[in-house]
Amino acid sequence: MPGFQGLTVPAWIGEGLDGGLASVCLYGANLDTPAQLGDLAARLRELSPSALLTLDEEGGDVTRLHYLTGSPQPGNAVLGRIDDVAATAASAQLIAAELQALGLNYDLAPSADVNSSPQNPVIGTRSFGAEPELVARHTVAWVEGLQAAGVAGCVKHFPGHGDTTADSHLAMPRIDTDRATLDARELVPFRAAIQAGVATVMTSHILVPALDPSGPATFSRAILTELLRGELGFEGVIVTDALDMKGASGEVGIPEAAVRALIAGADLLCLGSETSPELYREVLDAVAAAVAEGRLSLERLRDAAERTSRLAAAYPAAVPGSAGSVPGPERIAEAFRRGAAVPAWLANPAPVAVVQLENEANMAAGFVPWGAGAAGVPLSTPAEVPAGAKVALVARGLDAAHPAWALAAEFEGAGHPVLVIECGWPHDERADLVTFGASRAVGEALALALQLPVAAPAGAVGGGGSAG
């Protein structure tokens, strides 16, 4: 499952599909306009009517279809807070309809991680919550909504990425907990999704010594074959998280990472957004060499090929179906209005200034418009805030060192009423309002709840994000 750079299908992808390439993954860097994306997807489907054409469309903060404007879906953490499984299924159905309209038949979603660590730098609002049973029931609802509408789903990041404080895009995280805790927490949503018939499971590039102290889950036969296949009884496709991530290939390189993943039990290799024709050939050569050396059996390769072939046959490109009702801005805004500090801030008749602080983008999400800005709310720099205005200070990742706290104190010292808004997973209790997401849909609800002015959204172009 390679990605590629550019807005049109490169020749080497066409040659690969003609030669039996199982899957192609699209990223934000492949998108310029909706019409261009439609042409790109149509060309891929023309080259291979049976391939698995995929992307990361989680809804919420991680979006590829709406990379230029932000997602119209609220996202997992918001859905988990609402706790209406019918709404969660409807959100997935709407995403499936969009994918089907483009001829895409596989979605690398949802995240089934229990976000037990508030300091998690890469999961956070991509999780339905911090309680295993809640995450399990919403994971099942999302999977069933997506797959009933004709698109294969993917629960990730097995065996669970929620209790980490490192980002596997940049390093190899480690979960130091015992097997009993893993059984009672991390594995609960995956068990439920497998019982509900999820089509695929994505591996994580994390070290879990209680299961295998020798290497990350993506390379672990104990985790993929013995636990996932054996104990949990999963019969579908095991797909790797992107092998260009440091947690997988930082020490061994992508070709060797591909070989190790196949040996461990993976069936489909996600190579990453910047796959070149040279790298693609290097991966094929490394797999062939591993077979010649006896490290990798032909039986294992045939097993992987047969599983991916069955998956593609089970989810052919289809016509969009009907979907239920996803929570609209007004329903989400109801929860925002319940913030303890919100009524007094709203009652203040002072004019409003909205300051949104940018921070380093999440590697999985990329540079997607977010928060109030994505909803078209006019934003001010701190220096542009007029005297006497009340300030909505919007940020995400508000840890103790975040500059928002000093800025809020500066505004308050100058006599401005300030509402500090966390558009992510809360790191502490100081924020006045927590939205548990930053998608365009959440930004629209925020604007509605706080009576913020709205102009036409500016959008943004560029970036790419990474699978997983």
Which residues participate in catalysis according to the annotation? 169, 241
Number of other CB atoms surrounding residue 232 within 10 Å: 17
DSSP bridge partners of 59: 62
Q: What is the dihedral of CA 148, 153, 159, 164, to 10 degrees?
A: -110
State the residue for tokens 């995240």: 111
Number of other CB atoms surrounding residue 285 within 10 Å: 11
Question: Quick one: which of 138, 152, 108, 216 has its CA closest to 466?
Answer: 108
- Distance (Å, rounded) from C-alpha 89 to C-alpha 75? 12
SS3 75: coil
- Distance (Å, rounded) from C-alpha 110 to C-alpha 139? 7
What distance separates the 2 farthest-apart alpha carbons in the chain?
76
Question: Quick one: which of 173, 180, 166 has its CA closest to 210?
Answer: 180
DSSP 240-257: PSPTTSHHHHTTT-HHHH
SS3 158: strand
Per the CB < 8 A criterion, the answer to whether 97 and 45 are in contact is no
Phi, psi (deg, nearest 5) at residue 158: -65, 135
Radius of gyration of the chain (CA): 22
Instruction: Please state whether the peptide bond connecting residue 34 to the residue before it is cis, i.e. omega within 30 degrees of 0.
Output: no
